[in-house]
Amino acid sequence: MTVRKGKKLTISIQEHMAIDVCPGPIRPIRQISAYFPRLSPTAEPISPNPAFPLALSPGVGASGGTSRSLLSPLQAGARGGGGTLSAASSIETSVDICSSDSDDSTALGTLEFELRYERATSSLHCTIIRAKGLKPMDFNGLADPYVKLHLLPGACKANKLKTKTIRNSLNPVWNETLTYIGITEEDMHRKTLRLSVCDEDKLTHNEFIGESRVALRRVKPDQTKRFYTCLEHPPPVRDTYTHNLLEERGRLLLSLQFLAPPAEGETEGRRGGLYVGVLRCAHLAAMDVNGFSDPYVKIYLKPDVKKKSKHKTAVIKKTLNPEFNEEFFYEISLSELVHKTLEVTVWDYDLGRSNDFIGGVCLSCHVQGDALRHWMDCLRNKGQRVERWHILTNELPQTACHD
C-alpha cells in the first residue's frame, strides 16, 4: 500500500516485489518438455528458438508514457523464426523412441538371447548370444561382463546359472547355452526369467550393470524364440511379496507306481503296493563351504504309527545334481493309500554334526499343484509308472523331522 509522508512517496516491499516479479498478467507455466522436445529421427529440424517466443503485446505505445510494456507469448500457429511443436506431437514422438529397440535407446546396453522349452525332457535352454553398448564400469572405460540367470519367483543360489566372463569389452559375444532341468509346464505359465548383466571385479565385489526380464509364458513348447531387449535398472522390491514366498531349493524327479495285489493263485509278478522311485535332483542349494552339497533323500509315508515307513537313499558326495535311481516299496492297499501323505525330503550329509535340511515336497490328496496331479495320476493309472519333476522348498509341514 502506498503511503504519503509529506512530499515523499514511499512504496511498500509488497508493491516493490510485485512490480519487479510480475510485470504483466499471470500466464500458465509451460512444461519443461515443451522447450526440450524428443524428436523421432524422421522429424523435421526445428529452430533453436523457444517454442513460444516472447513479443511485445499489441496496444503498447512506442513512447512508453506511464504504461508498462507487457510480455506475452505468440498465438498458436505463429512462427518466430522457426517451427514449433505442440505438446501432443512431443508425447507421440517420445513414445516411438522408447518403444524402439535401437542401440542408443538405453544407457545400460542391449542383450540378445534365445529361449527354447523342450516338453519331452522338461528342460529350458537359454542361449546368451551377445550384448551391445554396455555401460563402462572400469577405469579403462570398459567392462568385464558376464550374464547370470534366475527364475522368479523364488530366486536363489539354487537356480542361478552363469556364463563365462568376457574381458575388456562393451560389446561381448558369448554364444553360450545354459540349461534348466526339471522345468514343468506350470513353471512356464507362472515363472519369469531374469537375466542380469554384471561386471566382474577380482579385487572388489562384482558390479551390476542392468537386467532384462521375460515371462516364460511367451515361449511356446519346442519352439525357439529370440529376444532383443534393452537392459533396465531392477524394479523396487516389495517386502509384502518376499515374506510370503517360499525359497526354492532345487528340483526332484520322482516316479510313482501303484500295483494292485495279485489275484489268488498268481505267484509271478511284483507285489501289490506303492513303488516310489527317487531318480535324480537338479540345481540343489549349496550347503557346504566348497559350494556343493552331499545330498541324500529320505521318504516317509505318513501318518506312520509303527515308525516303519522311513527309507533313505545313498549319499552322493560333492554335487548339486545327484543321480540316485533307487526305488522303494510300501505294501499298502489303495483304500489306505488315499488317506496317506508321501513326504520326500532332501538332506545334506555332514560328518560329526547334524545334517542340513535342503528342501522337500509332500504328495497327497490335500496338496495343490504338481504334487496333487502326480499323486492323483498314480492313483488313477494303476500299474503305470508316472514320472514328474517337483520343486523343493525350504519349508514343510511339521511332519518333517531330522534323523
* Band (24; pLDDT cuts 50, 70, 90): low
Q: Which pTM was predicted?
A: 0.60
Three-state SS sequence of the chain: CCEEECCEEECCHHHHHHHHHCCCCCCCCCCHHHHCCCCCCCCCCCCCCCCCCEEECCCCCCCCCCCCCCEEECCCCCCCCCCCCCHHHHHHHHHHHHHCCCHHHCCCCEEEEEEEEECCCCEEEEEEEEEECCCCCCCCCCCCEEEEEEEECCCCHHHCEECCCCCCCCCCEEEEEEEEECCCHHHHHHCEEEEEEEECCCCCCCEEEEEEEEEHHHCCECCEEEEEEECECCCCCCHHHHCCCCCEEEEEEEEEEEECCCCCCCCCCCCCEEEEEEEEEECCCCCCCCCCCCEEEEEEEECCCCCCCCEECCCCCCCCCCEEEEEEEECCCHHHHCCCEEEEEEEECCCCCCCEEEEEEEECCCCCCHHHHHHHHHHHCCCCCEEEEEEEECCCCCCCCCC
- Is pLDDT above 50 for 319? yes
- Provide the pLDDT for residue 43: 46
Check residues 314 and 158 and name the one with the higher pLDDT. Answer: 314
- Provide the pLDDT for residue 399: 42
- Provide the pLDDT for residue 9: 61
Query: 123-139: per-residue pLDDT in tens?
Result: 999 999 999 999 999 88
- Provide the pLDDT for residue 41: 45
- Provide the pLDDT for residue 72: 39
- Provide the pLDDT for residue 7: 54
* Band (315; pLDDT cuts 50, 70, 90): very high
Query: 35-67: per-residue pLDDT in tens?
Result: 555 444 444 444 444 444 444 444 444 444 444
Least confident of 67-71, 223-227, 306-310, 318-322: 67-71
- Provide the pLDDT for residue 159: 81
Query: 168-225: per-residue pLDDT in tens?
Result: 999 999 999 999 999 988 889 989 999 999 999 988 889 999 999 999 999 999 999 9
Compute the distance between CA of residue 40 and CA of residue 30 in angstroms, rounded to an integer: 22
Check residues 122 and 26 and name the one with the higher pLDDT. Answer: 122
Query: 146-169: per-residue pLDDT in tens?
Result: 999 998 887 677 788 999 999 999
Cβ-count burial 273-310 (b if 16+ within 10 Å, e if not):
bbbbbbbbbbbbbebeeeeebbbbbbbbbeeeeeeebe
Partners of 302 in the β-ladder: 341
- Provide the pLDDT for residue 76: 39
- The mean pLDDT value of the chain amounts to 77
- Is pLDDT above 70 for 18? no
- Provide the pLDDT for residue 77: 41
Compute the distance between CA of residue 209 and CA of residue 143 in angstroms, rounded to an integer: 10
- Provide the pLDDT for residue 278: 96
> Is residue 270 within 8 Å of 394, Cβ to Cβ?
no
Query: 326-367: per-residue pLDDT in tens?
Result: 999 999 998 999 999 999 999 999 988 889 999 999 999 988
Query: 279-290: per-residue pLDDT in tens?
Result: 999 999 888 888
Query: 72-84: per-residue pLDDT in tens?
Result: 333 434 444 444 4
The percentage of the chain sitting over the pLDDT mark of 70, rounded to a whole number, equals 67
- Provide the pLDDT for residue 160: 86
